[in-house]
Chains A and B, each alone.
Chain A
């Protein structure tokens, strides 16, 4: 059994390697940034056009009023859950192999939430009146409707976003101190000096740090769960066939973790290559992540199955119709695509030989994400085109290039944020890697002494 990480890495080296990733970017980095910017530009252009012309250009219609925007919104929200999974859940479970990779996962959480937020905005018909939905005392004397799941969404996401930003930051303070101490003077140094709040790693600081980190982690887990079950309730709380499903909350959460893990694998591979993190993002860790992903994939598949089953055997004719439509109707290709990517492809992960095969994993992880995205689309659209009222069943609503453009743009936006983050802040947690190395070495020392005793 090979080790998750070499135990004899000098701590100084750890600092060195990670800090290196902050300095003089490689050409590849700039390429990625450029691509991201371009993609984001497309999205912005589309939004400007839609803002000026009206939502009609997205080729939505009555009654098919939601489209890719909401689907992609859910997709990004889902993506965010992996960060919490690694940093909070695994933290409580003392799975220390998470340590080298949780930082970027958390960053991913934050940024995918920011991306999701964008979709709430572009989806709104009167963006310029968006502030109506914020609960603040105003000269109109009226309030938003606290009964609306959309509002729950807003508050949940706000809570989630701010909490995970804080969590990310607090967890980063010791590292910021390191940067402060070991970087050459310059704006970065100033920045770190400011952000590290004069951290010196005194016993008092460490003690409170530990407690805080733990409590916040405890809060984040239920929060993350609530966030996605609330997103689920946008649909489950409604009356529409195919949406009004009891199992939606866990189904969404599972889906969220699923897509999150898939995304982690992708980014893991990319970072590992771009920033030369082979030492820390080691194959054994990747393997663990992959196995985790596989497990979640199976959970998701199971939840999928029971949802269909319950609809199938239930007496709700309408929702059964919708299900059948998904399978054979205009959306069939997307639906089967989702089944394939979401439930068939992950089976590959069950094979040891693929669990560490980087190219294969890259492809698979992308496929999984595609599958998850299709899943969200298949939740949103078919119900509209096949609701309770036959007269308004519409011909398949193929999204216009405006919608596609914005979906595309969102990936640019995400990549942009993420890449900038990785250059400005240490994307591998140095102090925790140190801890990991330290404890492991202690452990193995004990092991050695034990052996000598035996002789």
Chain B
């Protein structure tokens, strides 16, 4: 009855997002990554491989830039032209930012990637036809395409290794796009439990693989709508608001003591991942 839908829900169907008058409720999954704690050890990335059945593509394909790591650790040097990077380097864990207004969603011809009710950017493998438009339009370039049929490629999952595959996550065949899902399979499991008990998921009941493994607790993840959630408190402390493209921090240049920022915010994708600036001692 879509036409009838249309007629009686017109206003609702015409409602843009994100906006403050229709807040996410009861769930909005979000993340905060403290770059000052992150040591760039790569544990998150490996954990992601383990949890999400990510294929190991091997040297040649990696050379061709066809790697599949959903979570990549970026390493940036200082650009001050000194002989030695004597303030260390900058690490940045980068994965799908689960944008509220995701550029990838609108362009998919078959609606294989959408914004879910709990504020995630869903990627539906079996719907994907591989036009790769989403990746083309992703400012962060965090979408990874199955250039080959990895399940049937030698040495990707040889005999015994198939047994390690996580049954909760589809193994992707050739020609589909994939990306970080905030471990949706874990979220879903937690929700089922909570629903059964007629409540919503509590803080600490669900962790993403990267968050769970992170040795320095740099990654915190949770329900932004839940006042008890660490991530909620962090976002609040940093005065970063989901549906703003200019935060308190940007308003007063330099003056603020806040560290929270979102990458490429000026493009208004409203990312769900807040980063906390890396701090460096000035006295030494």
Number of A-B contacts (CB under 8 A): 135
A389 to B95, CA, bound (A): 13
| Interface pair A391/B94, CB less than 8 Å apart | yes
Residue of B64, B137, B145 touching A240 (CB-CB under 8 A): B137
Q: Tell whether A384 pairs with B64 under 8 Å between CB atoms, given A133-B109, A145-B110, A238-B107.
A: no
* A132 in the interface (beta carbon within 8 A): yes
The main secondary structure of chain B at its interface with chain A is loop
* A43 in the interface (beta carbon within 8 A): no
Q: Tell whether A145 pairs with B111 under 8 Å between CB atoms, given A55-B175, A239-B103.
A: yes
- Residues 86-110 of B, flagged 1 when their CB comes within 8 A of A and 0 if not, give 0000000010000000010011111
| Interface pair B136/A61, CB less than 8 Å apart | no
| Interface pair A54/B110, CB less than 8 Å apart | no
* B239 in the interface (beta carbon within 8 A): no
Please count how many residues in chain A sit with their CB below 8 Å of the partner chain's CB atoms: 45
Tell me the residues in window 94-141 of chain B with beta carbons closer than 8 Å to chain A beta carbons. Answer: 94, 103, 106-111, 127-133, 135-141
A237 partner residues in chain B, CB cutoff 8 A: 107
* A24 in the interface (beta carbon within 8 A): no
A62 to B70, CA, bound (A): 11
| Interface pair B139/A239, CB less than 8 Å apart | yes
B135 to chain A, nearest CB (A): 5
B264 to chain A, nearest CB (A): 6
A147 to chain B, nearest CB (A): 5
Please count how many residues in chain B sit with their CB below 8 Å of the partner chain's CB atoms: 42
Cβ-closest chain B residue relative to A234: B133
Which of B43-51, B146-154, B159-167, B188-196 is the interface stretch? B146-154
| Interface pair A54/B106, CB less than 8 Å apart | no
| Interface pair A132/B110, CB less than 8 Å apart | yes
Cβ-closest chain B residue relative to A142: B111
Q: Tell whether A126 pairs with B128 under 8 Å between CB atoms, given A143-B111, A150-B133, A154-B109.
A: yes
Q: Tell whether A239 pairs with B147 under 8 Å between CB atoms, given A147-B106, A150-B131.
A: no
Tell me the residues in window 14-60 of chain A with beta carbons closer than 8 Å to chain B beta carbons. Answer: 53-56, 59-60
* A441 in the interface (beta carbon within 8 A): no
| Interface pair A55/B145, CB less than 8 Å apart | yes
| Interface pair B146/A63, CB less than 8 Å apart | no
- Residues 140-155 of A, flagged 1 when their CB comes within 8 A of B and 0 if not, give 0011110111110010
Cβ-closest chain A residue relative to B149: A54
A412 partner residues in chain B, CB cutoff 8 A: none
| Interface pair B139/A62, CB less than 8 Å apart | no
| Interface pair A148/B267, CB less than 8 Å apart | no
| Interface pair A145/B109, CB less than 8 Å apart | yes
| Interface pair A63/B135, CB less than 8 Å apart | yes
A9 partner residues in chain B, CB cutoff 8 A: none
If A124-B129, A132-B129, A148-B108 are given as contacts, then 8 extra A-B residue pairs at C-beta distance below 8 Å, sorted by A number, are A61-B64, A62-B144, A63-B135, A66-B136, A125-B128, A125-B145, A144-B111, A391-B72
- 10 A-B contact pairs sorted by A residue (CB < 8 Å): A56-B61, A56-B64, A56-B147, A62-B143, A126-B175, A148-B107, A387-B139, A388-B139, A389-B139, A397-B65
